[in-house]
Amino acid sequence: SQQGEEDPQALSIQEGENATMNCSYKTSINNLQWYRQNSGRGLVHLILIRSNEREKHSGRLRVTLDTSKKSSSLLITASRAADTASYFCATAAGVGGHAGGTSYGKLTFGQGTILTVHP
Amino acid sequence: GAVVSQHPSWVICKSGTSVKIECRSLDFQATTMFWYRQFPKQSLMLMATSNEGSKATYEQGVEKDKFLINHASLTLSTLTVTSAHPEDSSFYICSARTDSYNEQFFGPGTRLTVL
């Protein structure tokens, strides 16, 4: 079942502005990942943050994780028109998953945020 | 980085026919492969998890007799949509992982249209 919920569902900004997307989840996690998907294409992995981490950076991306609130945010700074895409968070199972088990590494995706960056 | 391919990238078929989609890990051995379905403007829904050499584990609500999964080798998994109907039209995406990585690598997806 889908446990991740993202907001906003759609975000429209001007080039150069920052874009913030939020993700909430319900069960314990091992890690949380953010993916990007251009229309009709596959997923591109952006960043992974482990359950014992609070913040992570990668280029113009900043991800935070608050396990007490079961939420994460993705910040894209100085956005570009090329950042226009759908962004999904995905959680990997926590307690009960073990390496080699059939459910290990299973991802549950959020509903996604459609980001439009206007030039 | 690890590369996963899917074939075909798109397919159009008549209602009642069966369609096979291949998912290959090109430069690593995938102990586990996952199959997802994505309807327009929606998120990815996990259909099943397959481990090499064993039966696939299907998610609740996914008909295993309709969506046949075969993980014949450490680099190939196939999804066969049997007796496809228009409601099966969707974007099917596979991913692959190995115990060495904490990350799933996604294929580019296959667009299935059933007329």
Q: Do residues B28 and B22 lie in contact, with contact meaning Cβ atoms separated by under 8 Å?
A: no
Q: Which residues of chain A make contact with B57, given a CB cutoff of 8 A? A: 102-103
Task: DSSP for A6-52, please give it.
Answer: EE-SEEEEETTS-EEEEEE--S-EEEEEEEEE-TTS-EEEEEEEETT
> Are residues B108 and A42, on separate chains, in Cβ contact within 8 Å?
yes
> Are residues A112 and B43, on separate chains, in Cβ contact within 8 Å?
yes
| pLDDT for residue A97 | 41
Give how far Cα B95 sits from Cα of A14, A19, B78, Å.
33, 28, 12
**CA of A29 to nearest chain B CA: how many angstroms apart?**
13
Mean pLDDT in residue range B59-67: 95
**Is it the case that residue A94 has pLDDT exceeding 90?**
no
What is the number of alpha carbons within 13 Å of residue B101 lying toward its C-beta? 15
The CA-based angle A40-A44-A45, given to 5 degrees, is: 150
Q: Which residues of chain B make contact with A111, given a CB cutoff of 8 A? A: 42-43
Q: Which candidate from A33, A88, A99 shows the least CB-CB separation from B43?
A: A88
Where would I find the H helices in chain B? none
Q: Do residues B83 and B18 lie in contact, with contact meaning Cβ atoms separated by under 8 Å?
A: yes
Average pLDDT, chain B: 92
**Which pLDDT tens digit goes with each residue over A96-116?**
444 433 345 788 999 999 999
At A4, the pLDDT band (50, 70, 90 cuts) reads low
| pLDDT for residue B107 | 94
**Is it the case that residue B92 has pLDDT exceeding 60?**
yes
Q: Which residues of chain B make contact with A41, given a CB cutoff of 8 A? A: 108-109
Mean pLDDT in residue range A28-39: 92
Average pLDDT, chain A: 87
Q: Which range (A77-91, B45-59, B74-88) has the least confidence?
A: B45-59
Mean pLDDT in residue range B19-32: 93
